[in-house]
Chain A
Amino acid sequence: MVAIRMRGRLVRDDERRLVASAQKGDRAALTAIVRSREHDLYVSALAILRSSWDAQDAVQETLYELCAKLHSLRDLEKFDAWLSRILVRKCYDRLRRMGPERDAEDLRESSAHAFVGTERDDEVLEAVAVLPDDQRLAVVLRFFLDLSYADIEAATGWPSGTVKSRINRGLAHLRKKLRERSLGRDL
């Protein structure tokens, strides 16, 4: 699956060319960029917000801001980090508005997306969904959006030590949750 997804992504040089063309107002280039990123953006927003409707809105707002501000992006290599930063901000805004009392949606049931994974995938997504907000965000940025520590630092404003510790704590939590589930199934 990973290999298929990676093949679906554009090659770096092509990406830079596309972003440069989009900056000049090329609509076709913009569409190609959106198509190559929308899946990862949606899944990431879904994992952070745990609501398909909020995830859709957050991604649409992210794309809107992408268009409004793309002309200001100077370092094309940083496009993904830049785009992730927008998404994180949109998701943060929503998390704040939602408040602490909110239930995670069942990710299998949605009119916005189809669940095409295995039972293990479902368990993993569920375990991610119940992580504390900061750890969930760190794990999603690191493993769903493939950001480096430095990019996560830039996207969240967290100090570098905090980025690393939140990722590691998130992973430890996930392992514990998944181990418990696995034990429960075996009993």
Chain B
Amino acid sequence: MTCDEVRSALEAFIKGELPEHEGAEVIDHIESCPACTLEYEELTELVGSLRHARSAVRPLHSFDVTTLPIIKPRRRRRLLLAVAAALGVWTIFCTAALLWPSVGARVAFLRIGREAAPVSSVTRENGLQMLSLSKVPAAALVEALKSLSSGSGLALDSPSNQGLLSSKRVLVHVTRLGPVVEQTTNSLRLQATLDVVKAPGSAASSHQVQVVIALSRQRDGSWAVTRVVTLTP
């Protein structure tokens, strides 16, 4: 190392931030160069003085923490995953009801993965179709999440215990999640856009559906879909 190189690296050396081999080179040089030894000693003294000087001033009062805003825990990502899962599952039903308007009123159960989830009611409010849903089983969420993460969308096969959708197959791709319409500690409403494809075996058709998903926090901390509202007629 030359004198210039050593002097350029001295500050990092004093702070102990040089890689080991470079530090060894600096030491070798300093030991054989009186000018750089002086430079090293002066710089070490200055760095020590700076560290000392920062303790010379003490604020007389602690800063006020009572007026600081409440920190909101980061739940959104986990929530979005849960919503994505729930969305994939429940909107299929929602979409099915859109594609076959008469279906909704007759469906009593919806098959999600290996489980059947009850649909408590299907109503219309202000021209919007409302599906009131019971708690989403955790296992179904996991299943749905796996399907979503595979990027292939979700497929709804005919629910064996009802037969209402037996001749149809619907594919739903979630094309957009969010924005969050409303969020509180225990509830969340989120907009989503779905690409609905009616296939195969029937004339190919697809269209987009806008929905709002409402979720509420359960006692065990999990989230359950309580309502799906379709925004497009």
Taking beta carbons and an 8 Å cutoff, which residues of A are in contact with B? 1-2, 4-5, 22-25, 27, 30-31, 34-35, 38-40, 42-44, 46-47, 56, 59-60, 63-64, 66-68, 70-72, 107, 111-118, 120-122, 124-125, 128, 139, 142-144, 148-149, 164, 167-168, 171, 174-175, 178
Number of interface residues of B (CB under 8 A): 34
Is B204 in contact with chain A by the CB < 8 A criterion?
no
Asked if B195 is at the interface of the complex by the 8 Å CB criterion, the answer is: no
* Contact present for A60 and B63 (CB under 8 Å): yes
Which of B49-57, B81-89, B102-110, B127-135 lines the interface with chain A? B49-57
Assess whether B22 is interfacial by the CB under 8 Å rule. Answer: no
Q: Does B221 contact A (CB under 8 A)?
A: no
Query: What's the count of A-B pairs with C-beta under 8 Å?
Result: 135
The verdict on A115 contacting B60 (CB below 8 Å), with A71-B72, A120-B49, A171-B43 known, is: no
> Do B8 and A168 touch across chains, with their CB atoms under 8 A apart?
yes
Q: Which of B17-67 contact A (CB under 8 A)?
A: 17, 42-43, 46-65
- A22 surroundings in chain B (CB, below 8 A): 71
The smallest C-beta distance from A156 to any residue of chain B, in angstroms, reads: 17
B163: interface (CB < 8 Å):
no
Residue of A nearest to B17 (CB): A148
- In contact, A125 and B53 (Cβ under 8 angstroms): yes
Q: Which residues of B contact A (CB under 8 A)?
A: 8, 11-12, 15, 17, 42-43, 46-65, 68-74
**Residue from A1, A27, A113, A175 within 8 A of B59 (CB atoms):** A113
A30/B58 in contact, CB under 8 A:
no
Task: Find out whether the CB atom of B74 lies under 8 angstroms from the CB atom of A71.
Answer: yes
What A residues does B47 contact at CB under 8 A? 143
Cα distance, A64 to B64, chains bound together (Å) = 10
Contacting residues, chain A, for B59 (C-beta < 8 A) = 38-39, 42, 56, 112-113
CB neighbours of B56 from chain A (8 A): 115-118, 121-122, 125
Q: With A2-B51, A63-B65, A124-B50 as given contacts, are A115 and B57 in contact (CB-CB < 8 Å)?
A: yes
Q: Compute how far the CA of A115 lies from the CA of B60 in the bound complex, rounded to whole angstroms.
A: 10
A37 to chain B minimum Cβ distance, whole angstroms, is: 9
Q: Which residues of A contact B55 (CB under 8 A)?
A: 1-2, 4-5, 116-117, 121
